[in-house]
């Protein structure tokens, strides 16, 4: 049985005798305009931690810093547990490639916190917006040739990418249903990638197609692996908006809920944009 395209994209092979060192390769199936989809790069950081034999617990936080565009071809990932406490563990991750001069060049750095979760008082304090079911929405078809969008079943409800780039945008809020395509059971790696599926908010707010690039993204996981397994290969409801656009950078915050209304992650980004 062949691997799902996402599993192939985040596949890592351990290096013999070097704990936490893995090799992988960028996937053409998740190619963006100038490099791989940033969500798969974030997922690779989580994958390196999830495969590490010294891991304690499950991810509760991920921060990814995109130092440069990842190129086509092989890369190496180093995941290091820098401190382990009784119930939490702190990690640093770096992803590098060999550049044209034959030097090792860092393309991504990340930190991850894993933890052993315990049963406590819990509540969903940010309720899922009231929307229609996924089967009442139409799958989005992007007119361009960007490959990674084809790997997701995205069904917008509001805040569509502009049809006309006329500078007349008024809002940065979007609501959509999303899942992997073909459908795939949810896990921490795929949830990390889906945290980055939202189009840049500046495109919606300005209705102007300016160059953009995510500089840093943080994901907070509110669900454990049992709750992710309960989602199966169902849809997630995503909501995203910006708070401020200023001096070449804007923020972008988002939430993802399961179909039953469980808040799975909250995420934020700082994104570069050019006039």
pLDDT recorded at residue 142: 76
Kindly report the pTM of this predicted structure.
Answer: 0.96
Residue 227 within any structural domain of the chain: yes
**Any domain includes 128:** no
C-alpha–C-alpha distance, residues 202 and 205, integer Å: 5
Instruction: Supply 156's token pair.
Output: 């917008």
Whether 66 is covered by a domain: the verdict is yes
Q: What is the extent of the structural domain holding 246?
A: 5-116+136-273
Number of domains in the chain: 1
Please give the distance of CA 107 from its chain centroid, rounded to a whole number. 16
The mean predicted confidence, pLDDT, of the chain is 95
C-alpha Rg value of the chain to the nearest Å: 18
Residue 260 within a domain: yes
> Tens digits of per-residue pLDDT, 68-116?
989 999 999 999 999 999 999 999 999 999 877 777 899 999 999 999 9
CATH number for the domain spanning 208: value is 2.40.160.210
72 found inside a domain:
yes
DSSP secondary structure, 2-60, as one string: PPPHHHHHT--EEPTT-TTEEEEE--GGGB-SSSB-HHHHHHHHHHHHHH-TT--SEEE
Structure tokens at 145: 């040739």
Close Cβ partners of 21 (under 8 Å, ≥ 6 residues apart): 14, 15, 76, 77, 78
CB 201 within 8 A of CB 145: no
The pLDDT of residue 141 is: 84
Residue at 222 is within a domain: yes
Provide the pLDDT for residue 144: 73
Residue 126 lies in a domain: no
The pLDDT value given to residue 18 = 87
Mean pLDDT along residues 159-175: 92
Evaluate whether residue 131 is within a structural domain.
Answer: no
């Amino acid at each position: 049985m062949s691997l799902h395209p996402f599993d192939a994209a985040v596949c890592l092979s351990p290096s013999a005798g070097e704990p936490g060192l893995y090799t992988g390769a960028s996937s053409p199936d998740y190619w963006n305009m100038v490099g791989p989809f940033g969500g798969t790069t974030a997922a690779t950081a989580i994958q390196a931690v999830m495969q590490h034999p010294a891991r304690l617990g499950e991810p509760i936080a991920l921060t990814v810093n995109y130092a440069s565009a990842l190129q086509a071809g092989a890369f190496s990932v180093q995941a290091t547990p820098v401190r382990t406490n009784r119930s939490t563990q702190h990690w640093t991750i770096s992803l590098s490639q060999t550049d044209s001069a034959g030097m090792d060049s860092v393309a991504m750095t990340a930190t991850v916190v894993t933890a052993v979760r315990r049963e406590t008082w819990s509540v969903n304090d940010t309720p899922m917006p009231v929307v229609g079911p996924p089967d009442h929405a139409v799958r989005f078809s992007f007119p361009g040739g960007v490959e990674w969008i084809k790997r997701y079943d995205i069904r917008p409800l509001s805040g569509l990418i502009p049809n006309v780039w006329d500078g007349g945008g008024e809002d940065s809020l979007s609501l959509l249903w999303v899942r992997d395509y073909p459908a795939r059971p949810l896990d921490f790696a795929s949830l990390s990638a889906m945290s980055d599926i939202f189009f840049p908010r500046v495109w919606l707010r300005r209705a102007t197609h300016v160059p953009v690039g995510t500089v840093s993204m943080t994901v907070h996981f509110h669900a454990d692996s049992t709750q992710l397994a309960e989602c199966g290969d169902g849809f997630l409801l995503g909501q995203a908006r910006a708070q401020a656009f200023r001096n070449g950078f804007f923020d972008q915050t988002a939430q993802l809920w399961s179909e039953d209304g469980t808040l799975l992650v909250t995420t934020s980004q700082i994104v570069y944009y050019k006039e």
